[in-house]
Structure 1
Amino acid sequence: MRPFGAITSGEFADTCTRCGDCAAVCPQAIITADDEGFPIVDLTRRECTFCGECATACEAGAIVPATGWEWRAKVGETCLSLQAVACRTCEDHCDERAIRFQLQTGGRSQPIIDIESCTGCGACSASCPSGAISFEMLQGAEQSDFNASNNQPASIKNEHMRMSGPRDA
């Protein structure tokens, strides 16, 4: 999953210089690097506020100002509510109120995500105690190098790209 405002994946690889400026300015510290040094977003750490600082810092033009993101949250089988454990942490952290729970038999609740309201910010994922929330591209949107099935690229470097000084993780 490339940062908010990243150009199409084919052009991105040719345009991005892997300088790390986007990661250095990210106030949420969610931009890390993949195995090749290209920036990716890790929404298991914190949410994206769509501030656009990464686009402002990208002199190469690989990340540009944007108005929408094509990623949406998806709840997996490890969701505690699906296991009859009372948890609605994702709903509590969703400012857009895109997550609701429908009561089921056996003390379970089915999380339902309103795709129209979901912004893909990741607040739900960052707060989920069981890591049940992943992200998938909206149908018809361009696919990237991100493996949405497990919410992680093949390997994430948990350190930040070229940043001076310590950074809260």
Structure 2
Amino acid sequence: MDSRPRPPGAVDEALFVDRCIRCDGCVEACPERVLVRADGGFPILDPSLGECTFCGDCVAACADQALLPSLLAEWPWRAALGAGCLSGQGVVCQACRDACGERAIRFPPGAGLGAPMIDASACSGCGACIGACPTSALRLQRIAISQSAASP
């Protein structure tokens, strides 16, 4: 299974690989330009390129039902902190918080130092914080849908 997110609305991985004909329709339809071809020509969402707005244009462009409108609200990805966070190393940086329209990222009170805390229930998984991070310390991580009440 690919550890990178497929476009919003993607069916489960095995079915996605079976249905997707790699036509690039979803990639071309994305107004945010955050969908790209990956291994084998299959599309993924690359949050380092910007924020997904969950507009559904990719789903509408998919004639092969690899992406379904009914699955748009079940986006199973949330922001997660990895190594390299500047704030966690004592450098004042809150770029991820500033980029988060959902207000899902908070920092410990005080001088703005310390690793950010990500509220998975508030995070939409849009990826806005990932592209804003100067050290690429954030990534999207798959979660069980029941772990979050948030929907894009």
Is 1:103–1:110's contact at 8 Å kept on the other side of the alignment?
no
Structure 1 stretches of 4+ moved >4 Å: none
Query: Tell me, which stretches of 5 or more residues in structure 1 are unaligned?
Result: 142-169
RMSD of aligned alpha carbons: 1.7
What's the CA shift string for 1:81-113, capped at 9, x where partnerless?
Answer: 0111100010011111000001589x8312100
- Greater relative contact order (Cα < 8 A, sep 6+): 1
Q: Shift in Å at residue 140 of structure 1?
A: 6.8
Identity %: 44
1:68 is displaced (CA, Å) by: 2.8
Does 1:15 find its partner at 2:6? no
* Alignment length (residue pairs): 140
TM-score, structure 2 normalization:
0.87
More helix by share: 2
Residue number among 81, 92, 97 corresponding to 2:98 in the alignment: 92
Residue 84 of structure 2 aligns to a residue whose secondary structure is coil
Query: Which residue number in structure 2 is paired with residue 25 of structure 1?
Result: 29
- Residue correspondence of structure 1 range 11-90 to structure 2 within 5 A: 11-65=15-69, 66-90=72-96
| Runs (5+) with no aligned partner, structure 2 | 147-152
Aligned-pair distance for 1:77?
2.0
Structure 2 match to 1:117: 122
Within 1, Cα distance between the matches of 2:66 and 2:27? Answer: 13
1:33-78, Cα deviation, whole Å (9 max, x unpaired) = 1120111110011010000000000011101112131101011120
AA partner of residue 93 (structure 1): A
Match of 1:126 in 2: 131
Distance 1:21 1:128 in 2: 29
Matched residue SS, 2:108:
strand
Report the TM-score when normalising by structure 1: 0.78
